Structure 1
Amino acid sequence: MTRDRHDTTLDIERLTHYLKQHIADFRDPVSATKFAGGQSNPTWLIEAQGERYVLRRQPPGQLLKSAHAVDREYRVLRALADTPVPVARALHLCEDRDVIGSMFYLMSYEEGRIFWNPALSEVDRDARRGYYAAIVQTLAALHDVDPQAVGLTDYGRAGNYFERQIGVWTKQYRAAETERIAAMEALIDWLPAHCPAQAHDKPDMQRPSLVHGDFRIDNLIFANDAPRVRAILDWELSTLGHPLADLAYFCMCLRLPSDGHIPGLRGQDRAALGVPEEEEIVAQYCALRGLPAIDNWPFFLAFSFFRLASIAQGVKARALQGNASSAQAHVVGAMVEPLAQLGAELIA
């Protein structure tokens, strides 16, 4: 992650006093540097006497219902601590909003590389396919976790995942709506009528999986010296649901324009880049999980664009209210209509 200049919005003295009481060997001097990434929950690097931690908090201001659930992030990190899924160590959850003004949690700082562009220009061409393979392996490992075995059977409702998600994100979108967008209206009309029938789901898909909800390349920390994922970041949208929602969400990077705020590979020569095609990514995932071919793939992609557009609309609304967590919030807000149009292309 890139970092902003030293941040003054945290009460360092009050935070230090609190963490000294709850984190072993937490000592002065303490500094906080805000990461520039992260539109949803503001995130800081906390340095204390040579030790490094990461703090994530809810943003200030009025929040949409169920949004910015840092307590859910903390819970899922703890649940996954002893699984093959790479995550940071969850150290402490503070639900007392009087400490810094909102709920927050502290986790370990994981050293590594974050890539902001799926073209992976920072690594050699011949290595890029290995990075994509590592991403898909990590996603398959996540979906193979048994929620019951890690104490997450109540982490989400079973069944009718897409119906419920479409309903939730339609409500979130309406609550943050600032103008009428024809492509969003088309998706809101089309998606509920084309949800995969529960009775026709593959047997391996009927058991609820833990889904990340925002699985994309810039939410992954890689080892500095190898195509290996060290940690999955930003679990705010995680729940129990349909694993293909995560797979399609990741595959959006192949369809997003290369010059957007969230850069993609649309129109680029992926063979020349050394990046696998969408069909290869889907086939690798299915092979790892022992799944047959996927029916109705355009639905999963259209749903992913719709949901990301709804998320961007929420960022846009917060920016207009003046309480978004990043200076780039207005740029994110401008993505709403283009994302909706990309989703609408899939249902035309």
Structure 2
Amino acid sequence: MAGPIRQPIDLQSLERYIEQHVPEIKTPLDVKQFGYGQSNPTYLLTSRDNGNKYVMRKKPPGQLLSKTAHQVDREYRIIHALENTPVPVPRAFCLCEDDAVIGTAFYIMSFLNGRIFADPALPDVSAEHRREMWKSAVKTLATFHSVKPASVGLENFGRMNNFYNRQLKTFATISEAQAKAVDVDTKVPVGKIPHYDEMVAFFGRAETQPKDRSTFVHGDYKIDNMVFHPTEPHVIGILDWEMATIGHPLSDLTNLLMPFTTASSPLAASAGRANEAFVPGHTPGMPTKEECLAWYESETGWKIIPSEMAWADAFGTYRGSIIMQGIAARYARRQASSEKAGDYAAQMKPFGEMGWRFVQECMKKLEGEGKKARL
């Protein structure tokens, strides 16, 4: 999955830093860049001395659109803090915040020898393993949500309570900046997400929001951010921690289960996000969304209210449209690190339309429970 370097780094400067600060990593190094990583460029480092492999994550080059994104220091902190817990994470070797070394802040972690699946349907595995791998993904999330921030010295990693309102405020700032990004060739701005104002108005209504809870949250917990054992059906590592904080656990759960939520949605199909493999009964061994929720509830002891899950699903899709807009903005400025950034950028508008449809479906569920759901 690693290939040609698209965003060059000063290898000699990096090697000097490693020799001074991480002597257990033997230089000289061979460097390749991973094709994935929509936000932070990710590199494979291989020691020519002993063949050991490591992974480096760095901020993108150039002036960044948002100070709240690309925080590799937060990634390092939480990975390092979780190393001695039941949560499977790589080993974090070092964090360098000196831009003079390779141009931006970066950190280095261990390379996990396992399988990464771009397709959450987990193709080319047996039905039995597919079910067990999804069960492992759900239970690993429940284990992560059960770690108390104070128990690993990260009680100040984020603010307790009121997570979704804080997210709305943060996304407003980010989305405004992203919408103004102008394509370097066409000179056309990225623009606003469809139904953005209506969605924000709905999500801001305190009486319809899920009950407030506070746990660690990963921020982008999904199948392609996990490493599975090379042959066995379980998770051996969680990757891409840049959006981790203290927040509402439903945000991670709905993100993980989004393929089930969007499986039969025409709008999801138009956004390239409807995976028929998740239609019940279509794929051997594939669990249902209800089974996944039951596994999570069993592990955490928390009973999830259907209307709260529907609200979180709608918010997760709205959040997804913000992420797509961000990729579109970086693509417009030619700062995107992924080879597929242009494809993701094109999904911003249909993703926004899908978010609005989910909001409308959520309002029906809330009204069915006797809650006011007007905008």
TM-score, length-scaled by structure 1? 0.92
2:280 corresponds to: 270
Q: 1:266 to 1:184 in 2, by over 3 A?
A: farther
Q: Which moved more, 1:246-255 or 1:264-273?
A: 264-273
3-state DSSP of counterpart to 2:150: coil
Kept in 1, the 8 Å contact 2:203–2:209? The answer is no
The answer to whether structure 1 residue 225 and structure 2 residue 231 are counterparts is yes
Which runs of 5 or more structure 2 residues have no equivalent in the other structure? 180-189, 361-375
3-state DSSP of counterpart to 2:230: coil
2:137 corresponds to: 135
Matches within 5 A, 1:19-98: 19-48=18-47, 49=49, 50-63=51-64, 64-98=66-100
Q: 1:183 to 1:95 in 2, by over 3 A?
A: same
The answer to whether structure 1 residue 279 and structure 2 residue 278 are counterparts is no
In structure 2, C-alpha distance between the alignment counterparts of 1:187 and 1:261, rounded to whole Å: 18
% of aligned pairs identical?
37
Matches within 5 A, 1:85-164: 85-164=87-166
Kept in 2, the 8 Å contact 1:136–1:285? The answer is yes
2:167 corresponds to: 165
3-state DSSP of counterpart to 1:347: helix
1:242 corresponds to: 248
2:328 corresponds to: 316
Q: 1:291 to 1:15 in 2, by over 3 A?
A: same
3-state DSSP of counterpart to 1:149: helix
Which runs of 5 or more structure 1 residues have no equivalent in the other structure? none
Kept in 1, the 8 Å contact 2:209–2:311? The answer is no
In structure 1, C-alpha distance between the alignment counterparts of 2:58 and 2:348, rounded to whole Å: 25
AA in 2 matched with 1:18? Y
Alignment root-mean-square deviation, CA: 2.0
Q: 1:187 to 1:325 in 2, by over 3 A?
A: same
Q: Shift of residue 260 of structure 1?
A: 7.9
In structure 1, C-alpha distance between the alignment counterparts of 2:2 and 2:270, rounded to whole Å: 21
Q: Shift of residue 282 of structure 1?
A: 1.2
Q: Shift of residue 27 of structure 1?
A: 2.8
How many residues are aligned here?
A: 341
Q: Shift of residue 264 of structure 1?
A: 4.9
In structure 1, C-alpha distance between the alignment counterparts of 2:39 and 2:120, rounded to whole Å: 21
AA in 2 matched with 1:218? D
TM-score, length-scaled by structure 2? 0.86
1:332 corresponds to: 344
Q: Shift of residue 8 of structure 1?
A: 6.7
AA in 2 matched with 1:128? R
User: What do the CA deviations read for 1:194-236 (whole angstroms, capped 9, x no partner)?
Assistant: 56557xx3xxx63x21000000100000001111111000000
3-state DSSP of counterpart to 2:3: strand
User: What do the CA deviations read for 1:124-173 (whole angstroms, capped 9, x no partner)?
Assistant: 12321111100011000000001111011101111111111112112211
Q: 1:259 to 1:119 in 2, by over 3 A?
A: farther
In structure 2, C-alpha distance between the alignment counterparts of 1:293 and 1:226, rounded to whole Å: 30
Kept in 2, the 8 Å contact 1:261–1:331? The answer is no
AA in 2 matched with 1:283? A
AA in 2 matched with 1:32? V
In structure 2, C-alpha distance between the alignment counterparts of 1:256 and 1:44, rounded to whole Å: 32
Q: 1:62 to 1:93 in 2, by over 3 A?
A: same
2:302 corresponds to: 291
2:367 corresponds to: none
3-state DSSP of counterpart to 1:32: strand
Q: Shift of residue 17 of structure 1?
A: 1.2
Q: Shift of residue 291 of structure 1?
A: 1.1
In structure 1, C-alpha distance between the alignment counterparts of 2:127 and 2:117, rounded to whole Å: 14
Kept in 1, the 8 Å contact 2:276–2:282? The answer is no
Kept in 2, the 8 Å contact 1:37–1:326? The answer is yes
Q: Shift of residue 15 of structure 1?
A: 0.8
User: What do the CA deviations read for 1:283-328 (whole angstroms, capped 9, x no partner)?
Assistant: 2111111112324221100111111110111111111112111232
Q: Shift of residue 240 of structure 1?
A: 0.2
Q: Which moved more, 1:268-277 or 1:209-218?
A: 268-277
Q: 1:311 to 1:8 in 2, by over 3 A?
A: closer
In structure 2, C-alpha distance between the alignment counterparts of 1:227 and 1:345, rounded to whole Å: 35
Kept in 1, the 8 Å contact 2:209–2:308? The answer is no
Kept in 1, the 8 Å contact 2:80–2:92? The answer is yes
Q: 1:185 to 1:80 in 2, by over 3 A?
A: same
Kept in 2, the 8 Å contact 1:253–1:265? The answer is yes
Q: 1:196 to 1:283 in 2, by over 3 A?
A: farther
The answer to whether structure 1 residue 193 and structure 2 residue 205 are counterparts is yes
The answer to whether structure 1 residue 215 and structure 2 residue 227 are counterparts is no
Q: Shift of residue 182 of structure 1?
A: 2.8
In structure 2, C-alpha distance between the alignment counterparts of 1:317 and 1:254, rounded to whole Å: 28
The answer to whether structure 1 residue 343 and structure 2 residue 345 are counterparts is no
Q: Which moved more, 1:122-131 or 1:185-194?
A: 185-194
AA in 1 matched with 2:57? R
The answer to whether structure 1 residue 301 and structure 2 residue 300 are counterparts is no
Kept in 1, the 8 Å contact 2:121–2:278? The answer is no
Kept in 1, the 8 Å contact 2:270–2:350? The answer is no
